[in-house]
Amino acid sequence: QVQLVESGGGLVQAGGSLRLSCVASGSIRSIADMGWYRQAPGNQRELVADITSGGSANYADSVKGRFTISRDDVFRTVYLQMNSLKPEDTAVYYCNADVRTLALLSDWDDYWGQGTQVTVSS
């Protein structure tokens, strides 16, 4: 009973910006790491950025200096601010979170959102 819902994707020109949001909801006890992944057609899903519960962020080399990941634990939301977008950033972006549910004996499990399309035109 855990859902991750992404929003904020769309069509943007090269050099433009988008801000993605992912809200976690459901029977959640705690959330550890959260991250953003992307997958272009014919490619493997790759890590874009992730952030620990303590706020430490990690970025793929291809997005360093352009993207910023952040989180708001009150609203159980992770954001990805994407600036200076390039056509090669075009992909479906997926939110990921390590979640422990409210079940007494629950362990940490990996959850995924359904994805949001980001298209960058040249």
Q: Which of 21, 96, 85 is nearest to 58 (CA)?
A: 96
| CB contact at 8 A, 116 and 93 | yes
pLDDT of residue 121: 98
pLDDT of residue 22: 98
pLDDT of residue 53: 95
pLDDT of residue 1: 84
3-state DSSP helix/strand/coil percent for the chain, to nearest 5? 5, 60, 35
Per-residue pLDDT in tens (0 to 9) along the chain, 122 residues: 899 999 999 999 999 999 999 999 999 999 999 999 999 999 999 999 999 999 999 999 999 999 999 999 999 999 999 999 999 999 999 999 999 999 888 889 999 999 999 999 99
SS (H, E, C) 2-20: EEEEEECCEEEECCCCEEE
Count of beta carbons in the 10 Å neighbourhood of residue 61:
6
**What is d(CA 35, CA 93) in angstroms, rounded to the nearest whole number?**
10
CA angle centred on 62, ends 21 and 113, rounded to 5°: 30
60 contacts: CB under 8 Å, gap ≥ 6: 46, 47, 48, 49
